[in-house]
Amino acid sequence: AGATIEDARLNLALVQSDLILDLTYTVTAHKLLGRNPVITATTGYSASAGNPWTANACCFNNIPMAQANLSPAYATRAVDKIPGFKVWDITAMVQERMQTPADNFGLLLNADTTKPGDRYRYFASMEHAAATLRPFLDVTYSASDTTPPAVAVTAPANNASVSGMTPLQAAASDNL
């Protein structure tokens, strides 16, 4: 609470790509809208048991694939074929999620719709054997301190008359 998101970057490690000569493959990052998926139960047809994606005709055999439950793209990245981390700037998305956390159903990376089905990019998941290749979100934020510190002089006593060199004692505390 009270934090200001200054920067948020999604980092995904590219671990495999197709063998076609196309150099880049565009991957877009979107907010999921109106559905809270259960990852272990999500399919191309539903976000979870009894919670279908909004019907649409975008994809093969009219499988919804969540396409009608996506925001416009927040970030677009042309992904090359060089293995290693690729980064999407999703600062605006994370800032919005902080403002309305109840609407946070996650994000979805969308495949390049201009490419044939045999083109792809594979990224390491949270279960990848190499922990250093697992995805991470790098967030830079600043905290607003609205509570001033409390300071109390404990010696000399309140309203005491002093002269010369007099030791001073105080206690201070802060909520941060």
State which residues of the chain have pLDDT below 50: none
* Per-residue model confidence (pLDDT) at position 136: 97
- Of 97, 53, 46, give the one whose Cα is nearest residue 74: 97
| Structural tokens at position 5 | 């998101």
pLDDT digits (tens, 9 = 90+) for 33-45: 999 999 899 999 9
- CA-to-CA distance for 100 and 1, rounded, in angstroms? 12
pTM value surpassing 0.85 = no
Predicted pLDDT of residue 146: 74
Q: What pLDDT shows up at residue 71?
A: 95
Give the pLDDT confidence score for residue 1 in this predicted structure: 67
- Cα angle 144-146-151, degrees, rounded to a multiple of 5: 125
